[in-house]
C-alpha cells in the first residue's frame, strides 16, 4: 500500500520568501506529525494533528511557521519570510489514533521521505 508521501523532495529558496511543504499521510491514519531534522541530528517536533481536534503547535519555533490539515488528510507546512536557519529536512509522519486504538500499534509512526529545504 501507499506510504506517506511528501512534496517537493527538495526546495531551494531565497531568504525572505515563503515556502509550502506538503504531506500526504497513509490512508486511514488520523494522526499526523511534522518534524524538523538538521544535518545528521535527531528530530525536532513541530506540530501534531489528530482528527478534527485543535492541533498541538507547541513545537513551532516561531510565528513564521504554520500548518494546516484539510479534511483530516493532506497537510501543508508553511514557512513565511524564510531565514537561513530554517534550512533543514522537514519530515512528516502519520499514525493511527493513539488515543483510541490502544495497544503497541497505536504508537507507531510511519515517515515520509522528507523535504530538504535550503534557504540561500
Partner 1 sequence: TQLLEQSPQFLSIQEGENLTVYCNSSSVFSSLQWYRQEPGEGPVLLVTVVTGGEVKKLKRLTFQFGDARKDSSLHITAAQPGDTGLYLCAGAKGNQFYFGTGTSLTVIP
Q: Which residues bind partner 1 (CB under 8 A)?
A: 4, 33, 35, 40-45, 48, 50, 56, 58-59, 91, 93, 98-99, 104, 107-114
Asked if 113 and 24 touch (Cβ cutoff 8 Å), the reply is no
Q: Is the CB of 33 or the CB of 65 nearer to partner 1?
A: 33
Q: Can you tell me the distance from the alpha carbon of 73 to that of 86, in angstroms, rounded to the nearest whole number? A: 25
Q: Can you tell me the distance from the alpha carbon of 38 to that of 51, in angstroms, rounded to the nearest whole number? A: 28
Residue 64 Cβ vs partner 1, minimum distance, rounded to whole Å: 22
List the grid coordinates of 83: 531565514
Q: Is the CB of 18 or the CB of 108 nearer to partner 1?
A: 108
Residue 25 Cβ vs partner 1, minimum distance, rounded to whole Å: 12
Q: Is the CB of 24 or the CB of 114 nearer to partner 1?
A: 114
Residue 28 Cβ vs partner 1, minimum distance, rounded to whole Å: 17
Amino acid at each position: 500500500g501507499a506510504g506517506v508521501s511528501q512534496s517537493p523532495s527538495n526546495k531551494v529558496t531565497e531568504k525572505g520568501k515563503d515556502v509550502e511543504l506538503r504531506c500526504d499521510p497513509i490512508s486511514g491514519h488520523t494522526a499526523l506529525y511534522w518534524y524538523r531534522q538538521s544535518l545528521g541530528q535527531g528530530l525536532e517536533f513541530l506540530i501534531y494533528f489528530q482528527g478534527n481536534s485543535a492541533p498541538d503547535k507547541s513545537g513551532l519555533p516561531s510565528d513564521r511557521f504554520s500548518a494546516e490539515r484539510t479534511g483530516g488528510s493532506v497537510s501543508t507546512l508553511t514557512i513565511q519570510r524564510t531565514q537561513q536557519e530554517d534550512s533543514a529536512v522537514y519530515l512528516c509522519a502519520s499514525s493511527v489514533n493513539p488515543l483510541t486504538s490502544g495497544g503497541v500499534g497505536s504508537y507507531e509512526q510511519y515517515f515520509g521521505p522528507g523535504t530538504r529545504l535550503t534557504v540561500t
